[in-house]
Structure 1
Amino acid sequence: MNKIIFKIAFPIILVGLFIIIIFIALNYGAMSKEVYFVFIALSIYVFLFGFATGQNFATPVKKLLKRATELSQGDLKTRVYLETKDEFGELSKIFNKIAQDLEESKQAGSRAEESIDIKVKAKTQALDETISALEQKVRNRTLELDKVIKEIERQRDEVKNKDEEIAKLKVQIEDAKKIVIPDITEKPKKVSVKKNKVEIKETEEPKVEPEPIVDIKPSI
């Protein structure tokens, strides 16, 4: 910042000293000692005036630079208030307007982010509820399937037991077939003894003669 003050003050001081030196050179013979003291005082005044003018110009620039640095670091509430009515005052108003617009934009972005967060949380909660309902349905289906599987296993065991019983019955039937059983369908045989010989003849079934058919004519 001292460089800015020096750059502003140096031309003013240089011009003032140049004017004083020219005036002294032109009136060197006619000047008294009192005039020299006046010129020395004027020279000191030129120095002070130059640095004061530089300081006057550098102070608003210094404030603007400081606030601009704060704004660049994220402090959107920073403002510059200059009471001057020159270009620096207009520049401070423009700076404040830019800072205000940035702050409002940030607030709008924050509100939008909050709204998005709320919507995302609502969607997430709804999704969690849906997932919980689906998990409950899956658990219920799993229990039902377990019951069905147990019932199928029970029926399979019953079928297996039935098959074993049928196999045992088949074995018993096969064993029963091996036992000799007389044929009850054979015709009865007649045993007769003739002269020391035994003859066995099959008895014939008695023949049943059909009854005669009587033709009965109705009497007229």
Structure 2
Amino acid sequence: MQRIDVPKPLPELVYHAVLNAICEGTLRPGERVTQEGMAARLDVSRLPVGQALKRLEGEGFLCPAGRRGLRVAPLTRELVRELYGLRAGIDLVAAGEAARRCDAHFRREGQRILEDGRSALAARDVPLLISADEEFHWLIYETAANARILEVMATQWHHTRRVMLHVIDDVANQEPIWDQHERIYRAIAAGDAAAAERLAREHADEASGWLQQAAERLSA
């Protein structure tokens, strides 16, 4: 018996289209977003657009812009501080759980991702570097096998994508981050939960510091 593919509801499709435009920089921080304008751009009716925009506002990707319409939420130091404060706790727990559940798949995929990250550094390829960073952390979340972590990070990682896209304009400060990734990987691969937790927390805290500074320069 063949599986029946059910197409996603239109509001869901609109939601993901606008979310990706925000995360990929097509819609810039501060840019005005109206129901009418977005419906015209996507060639859909206003109702599913309104539903999608309300959801995105609730998740912090859009914010009010006067009496009518919305705008893309700015990237602020406070946003980065809150986001990475949350990530510091989640990443610590995830790294410890991953170390306790580490298997051959994690070791193989982790090594591949580290090689991809180093290659992106050498090529000065920022989009590839961001993609490899996302893969690395999601491999840890998935290895931790905690459904609540996956649920929370499914939304929060989009905020991380936004921040990284707008503040990483070169790879000058990225080599130390990949050194940290490698140390986290080795601790997890060795099954050393305590070391993995400590390194993951330090990594999130350090990233928070320089990303807050970068966000402040961006909004100045």
**What range describes the TM-score normalised by the shorter chain of this pair?**
under 0.3
Higher relative contact order (CA 8 A, sep 6+): 2
> TM-score, length-normalised on structure 1?
0.19
> TM-score, length-normalised on structure 2?
0.19
Larger Rg: 1
